[in-house]
């Protein structure tokens, strides 16, 4: 064997050794992999459930203290408390700091400040007042560490709010105007409010709250042009649909930032519904909703009984 043949043979032996060594390493890795237990599937995340202070006070003459709601929510095991603006004792900094500290000490969040305003007003100066009111409430939310505000479209107020209204939601415009006028007012007014909300880092969550927003097509017509704003959101209320709620809820669920979920134990104060919350929970899961469910107990039963009952139901269906 000459030198060239010896070099070729040595090279072949070296390559064979490397190949066998690599195979041994791979075999060892495979063997070890067989011994490793598969990683456990991540635990399902629990949907956080808040309770609205409104659940304890349905605009009765005497306000139910927000502080008592916070304490009761902590005792019952809620994750947060939604504050109804009209239920606050005042808007002073010491009072707001007190609520924020009380929630913190009790391990609760304050996810939503529910306010009232209407942009369905023909006079620009009237709409401006409600824009200014909203901006003021953005500042209140900032002070209390609340990340989102419930917003309304408003309504024409041309019909009486009775049982029939809540069944069909029909409300004709003021003479000389159209619903399309009102939609434009809402888009323009919300746009002004969003400028302040973006600076403050507050989400403005528009709700299907009767009036113009009883029409889901109208609500989406207002929402979609504003959806590019990082401060734009949607609050979907399970009890505020005209007609069959489930198809409409399914349409809004993909846009939901927060969901207000109503119960009516003891019969409703304004109307009565028998909502299928298992079905509602399924719709939210399909939409990959991960935000807060906020209880609005709107029944006549004592909140001391109806609120815990509602929480039990929600823990079961939204788990």
pLDDT in tens, 45-101: 789 999 999 999 999 889 999 999 999 999 999 999 999 999 999 999 999 999 999
pLDDT reported for residue 163: 82
Q: Which of 24-28, 171-175, 185-189 has the lowest mean pLDDT?
A: 24-28
Count of all residues that appear for the chain in the document? 319
Tokens 């824009």 identify what position?
131
pLDDT reported for residue 162: 87
Domain architecture of the chain: domains with CATH: 49-317 (3.20.20.150)
What is the average pLDDT across 172-184?
98
pLDDT reported for residue 265: 97
pLDDT reported for residue 164: 84
**Tokens at 77, concatenated:** 């095991």
What is the average pLDDT across 170-197?
97
Higher pLDDT, residue 292 or 7? 292
Q: Give the chain's mean pLDDT.
A: 90
pLDDT reported for residue 38: 58
Label the pairing between strands 49-52 and 293-297: parallel
pLDDT (tens digit, 9 = 90+) per residue, 100-152? Answer: 999 999 999 999 999 999 999 999 999 999 999 999 999 999 999 999 999 99
* pLDDT over 60 (residue 36): no
* pLDDT over 60 (residue 12): no
Rounded distance, CA 198 to CA 189, Å? Answer: 14
Higher pLDDT, residue 139 or 38? 139
pLDDT reported for residue 319: 84
pLDDT reported for residue 22: 45
pLDDT classification of 43: cutoffs 50, 70, 90: low
What is the average pLDDT across 207-217?
96
Rounded distance, CA 161 to CA 284, Å? Answer: 30
Rounded distance, CA 232 to CA 206, Å? Answer: 8
Rounded distance, CA 150 to CA 139, Å? Answer: 14
Task: Decide: 158 and 120 in contact? Cβ < 8 Å.
Answer: no
Task: Decide: 303 and 266 in contact? Cβ < 8 Å.
Answer: no
Q: Which of 297, 302, 291 is nearest to 313 (CA)?
A: 297
pLDDT reported for residue 276: 98
């Amino acid at each position: 064997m000459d030198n060239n043949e010896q070099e070729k043979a040595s090279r072949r032996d070296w390559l064979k050794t490397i190949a066998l060594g690599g195979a041994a390493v791979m075999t060892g890795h495979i063997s070890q992999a067989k011994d490793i237990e598969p990683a456990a599937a991540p635990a399902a995340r629990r949907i956080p459930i808040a309770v609205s202070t409104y659940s304890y006070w349905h605009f009765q003459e005497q306000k139910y203290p927000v502080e008592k709601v916070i304490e009761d929510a902590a005792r019952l095991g809620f994750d947060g408390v939604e504050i109804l603006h009209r239920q606050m004792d005042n808007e002073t900094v010491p009072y707001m700091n007190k609520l924020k500290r009380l929630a913190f000490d009790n391990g609760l969040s304050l996810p939503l400040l529910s306010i009232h305003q209407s942009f369905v007003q023909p006079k620009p100066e009237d709409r401006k007042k409600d824009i200014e009111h909203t901006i003021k409430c953005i500042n209140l939310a900032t002070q209390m560490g609340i990340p989102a505000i419930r917003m309304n479209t408003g309504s024409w107020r041309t019909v009486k709010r009775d049982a029939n209204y809540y069944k069909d939601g029909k409300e004709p415009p003021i003479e000389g105007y159209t619903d399309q006028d009102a939609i434009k007012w809402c888009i323009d007014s919300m746009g002004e409010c969003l400028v302040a909300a973006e600076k403050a880092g507050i989400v403005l969550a528009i709700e299907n709250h009767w009036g113009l927003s009883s029409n889901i097509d109208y609500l989406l017509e207002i929402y979609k042009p504003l959806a590019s704003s990082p401060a734009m959101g949607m609050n979907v209320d399970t009890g505020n649909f005209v007609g069959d709620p489930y198809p409409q809820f399914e349409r809004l669920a993909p846009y939901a930032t927060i969901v207000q979920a109503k119960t009516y134990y003891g019969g409703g104060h304004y109307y009565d519904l028998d909502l299928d919350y298992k079905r509602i929970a399924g719709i939210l899961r399909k939409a990959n909703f991960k935000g807060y469910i906020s209880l609005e107990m709107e029944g006549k039963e004592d909140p001391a009984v109806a609120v815990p009952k509602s929480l039990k139901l929600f823990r079961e269906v939204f788990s």
